[in-house]
């Protein structure tokens, strides 16, 4: 599984890009303290990427809505969740987070090397994960989790 960073934007607007440097004409939001990739940092520090920082992801969504920024990078799972739980339905309906990722980072389970049973735990975890993926159960569980999170978000709105 990997963290997938995508760009949320206003619906009806499109931004053609193949790499981050293609976005230099646009205003990009970022949340103070979040990491967006080495390339993002370099482009921002060089002034090639016009970055406007906010104190929270929700503030960046509000900046999108008010047209203060054009794009907001966020994890592909987190963005839609925050839109569903932290914005009004009519606000969330104005935004989208297209699936195209500009950066991915693998997620890991960390087990301390100090644990005597560490190698055994890693072996069992890897075998169990492989079995879940091979059977299709891994994807099924992920989709069920997404559905449950979305249902909770919708219930919280009411």
From first to last of its 158 residues, the chain has per-residue pLDDT tens of 899 999 999 999 999 999 999 999 999 999 999 999 999 999 999 999 999 999 999 999 999 999 999 999 999 999 998 998 899 999 999 999 999 999 999 999 999 999 999 999 999 999 999 999 999 999 999 889 888 877 777 777 66
Domain that holds residue 43: 2-105
85 and 55 together in one domain: yes
Return the ∠ at Cα 19 (arms to 17 and 36), rounded to 5°. Answer: 115
16 and 65 together in one domain: yes
Q: What is the DSSP string of 86-100?
A: HS-HHHHTTEE--S-
Tally of CB atoms within 10 A around 72? 25
117 and 91 together in one domain: no
Give the residue from 58, 73, 79, 69 showing the smallest Cα distance to 26.
Answer: 69
69 and 36 together in one domain: yes
Number of domain units in the chain:
2
Cα distances from 43 to residues 17, 21, 47, 71, 137, in angstroms, run 15, 7, 6, 15, 40
CATH of the domain at 37: 3.40.190.10
18 and 92 together in one domain: yes
Which of the listed residues 86, 105, 124 is the one where a domain comes to its end?
105
70 and 136 together in one domain: no
Distance CA 151, CA 140 (A): 16
Whole-prediction pTM value? 0.83
């Amino acid at each position: 599984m990997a963290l997938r960073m995508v760009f949320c934007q206003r619906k009806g607007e499109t931004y053609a890009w193949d790499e981050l440097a293609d976005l230099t004409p646009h205003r990009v939001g970022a949340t103070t303290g979040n990491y967006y990739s080495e390339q993002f940092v370099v482009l921002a520090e060089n002034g090639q990427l016009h970055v406007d920082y906010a104190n929270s992801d929700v503030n960046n969504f509000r900046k999108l809505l008010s047209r203060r920024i054009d794009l907001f990078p966020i994890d592909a799972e987190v963005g839609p969740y925050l839109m569903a739980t932290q914005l009004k339905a009519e606000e969330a309906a104005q935004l989208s987070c297209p699936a195209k990722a500009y950066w991915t980072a693998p997620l890991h389970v960390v087990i301390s090397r100090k644990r005597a049973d560490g190698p055994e735990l890693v072996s069992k975890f890897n075998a169990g994960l492989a079995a879940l993926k091979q059977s299709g159960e891994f994807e099924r569980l992920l989709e069920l989790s997404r559905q449950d999170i979305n249902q909770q978000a919708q219930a919280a709105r009411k």
